Amino acid sequence: MTHAVRRHYDDRAPTYDDNPMHRGIAAEVAGLAADASPGGVVLDVGTGTALVLRALPTGGRRVGIDLSPGMLARARAADPTLLLARADATRLPLPDASVDVVTCVTVLHLLPDPAAALAEWRRVLRPGGVAFTATFVAAGAPGPRQDFPRDHDSFRTPELLGARAEAAGLRLTASHRSDHGLDTLLVCRLER
C-alpha cells in the first residue's frame, strides 16, 4: 500500500496546488497552528507540497514529512527554507517532546495504521503541545483513481476521531466543520 500511495502522490505533485480545497484547508489549519504556538516548531505530517507550512509565518521552524519524493520536490522548489524529509507517519524522525504543533491535513484516512501515527504525534509533542487535523466528513466529486484503500468513516465525526486520539494519549479539545467547495472537512484540535 505504501508504494501505491507514493506513486499516486508522485503523479499528482505537479497539479496538487491547483486544487482550491487543498489551498483553502491548508491556510485554515496553518492559521490555527500559528495562533497556537507563534514562532514554535511545527511538524506537518503528510506535508505533500507543504501548503500548510508555506502558509505559516516564517518565524519558527517548519518541518514536513511525506512519503512522496515528487511532493517533497515540489515543496522544496516552492520554499527552500523548509526542513523536509521523506519519512513514514508512523516512524517520525524526530526526538521525543521536540515539537510544539503537529498538523496533518487529509492524511489520516490513507494510513494503514493511524493509531501508530497518532501515538507518534504524542511522542514528538512537547507537554502542552497541540495537533490540528483535517479529515473528510463528506467528500465531493471523486478525485483521481486510487489503487489503495481509504478509511474516511473512522474520522468523520469528532467522537470517532476523539476516541482514536484518546487511545493514543491525546485529548480532543475543539472541532468544527469547514466547507471547501464540494468537500466538507472536520477540523480538530488535539492536546497532549
What share of the chain in percent tops pLDDT 70?
94
What pLDDT is attached to residue 138?
65
Percent of the chain with pLDDT over 90: 82
How far apart CA 38 and CA 17 sit, in angstroms, is 25
Mean pLDDT score of the chain: 93
pTM: 0.93
Q: What is the pLDDT of residue 123?
A: 98
User: How does residue 173 score in pLDDT terms, banded at 50, 70 and 90?
Assistant: very high
Of 33-47, 121-135, 142-156, the range with the lowest mean pLDDT is 142-156
DSSP state string for 113-126: -HHHHHHHHHHHEE
Query: Cell digits for 90?
Result: 508512523
Cα separation, 116 vs 151, in Å, equals: 15
Residue 73: its pLDDT value, please?
98
Class of residue 58 by CB neighbours under 10 A (exposed 0-12, middle 13-18, buried 19+): exposed
Return the pLDDT at 149: 72
Asked if residues 187 and 32 have their Cβ atoms less than 8 Å apart, the reply is yes
| The pLDDT of residue 124 | 98
Domains and CATH numbers, the chain: 2-191 (3.40.50.150)
Q: How far apart are CA 92 and CA 107, in angstroms?
A: 15
pLDDT at 143: 57
Looking only at the bridges linking them, the beta strands covering 125-138 and 183-191 are antiparallel
pLDDT of 167 > 70? The answer is yes
Sign of CA dihedral 133, 181, 67, 75: negative
Range name among 7-11, 48-52, 64-68 with the lowest pLDDT average: 7-11
Collapsing DSSP to helix, strand or coil, 166 comes out as helix
pLDDT tens for 132-159 read 999 999 655 555 566 667 888 999 999 9
Determine the average pLDDT of the residues in 162-167. Answer: 97
Do 64 and 90 touch, CB atoms closer than 8 A?
no
